[in-house]
Amino acid sequence: MGMSRLFFERQWLHALGLIVLLPICAWMTGLDAVRHGSLWGLATINWYWIAIFIPILHQVYVLIVWRSELHGGACTRVFGQAAFPLYCTGFAIIGIARIIVVFLLAWANRGSFEFAPIAMKVLAVIMLIPALYLFYSVRRYFGFERAFGIDHFDASYRDVPFVKRGIFRFTDNGMYIYGFFLLWVPGLWWGSAAALTVAAFNHLYIWVHYYATELPDIRRIYGAK
């Protein structure tokens, strides 16, 4: 398979995911509950689209770096030993922004979805617990370097076995299942229709990343799973 074909392997699925999800997100903006409110002089609808754009930026960034490094070592050739730290810095900045903007959106749009507010707050706390346990498990057992994708940069990590401790005892996909519970918390806590919509987009879109980008890479790196 040629280099360009390897780079774009299964990215038709990525494109399809956006073709399906973005029109739904656009349709949701016609609802008064999603448009309600503002923050710092910026209308909720603007925060909403920022909160949609950042996950796309994040996952496309990861795609470009992972594939260009895995299939040719492009990042290492350009940046040398600084390639992975530089990538991690970008990943962290965009990833933290991905979380923060959902909280800002929820606050701007607070009170727009007031269905059983006490039950929603209880559910927010329930969802926060496994999300925090996931990040604890990554820090203690998995390591943030592996979570960021160091196996695309350093071949020595490709012989390290899969982690089966912490939350990873229950699933190999803890980040996708439980980590993204965190993004549901602000919408549930503050009763925000816009933030709940964005949380749903994030949770669905990260699975697009898994099947379109990460799973094919895992199979090429490890020859399994």
pLDDT tens for 63-74 read: 999 999 999 999
- Low-confidence residues of the chain: pLDDT under 70: 1-3, 224-225
Half-sphere exposure of 143 (CA within 13 A, CB side): 10
pTM over 0.85: yes
Q: For residues 221 and 156, what is the distance between their CA atoms, to the nearest angstrom?
A: 11
- The domain tally of the chain equals 1
pLDDT of residue 1: 60
pLDDT of residue 93: 97
Domain that holds residue 161: 3-222
Residue partners of 137: CB distance under 8 A and separation at least 6:
165, 166, 167, 168, 174
pLDDT of residue 21: 98
Helix (H, G, I), strand (E, B) or coil at 39: strand
pLDDT of residue 2: 64
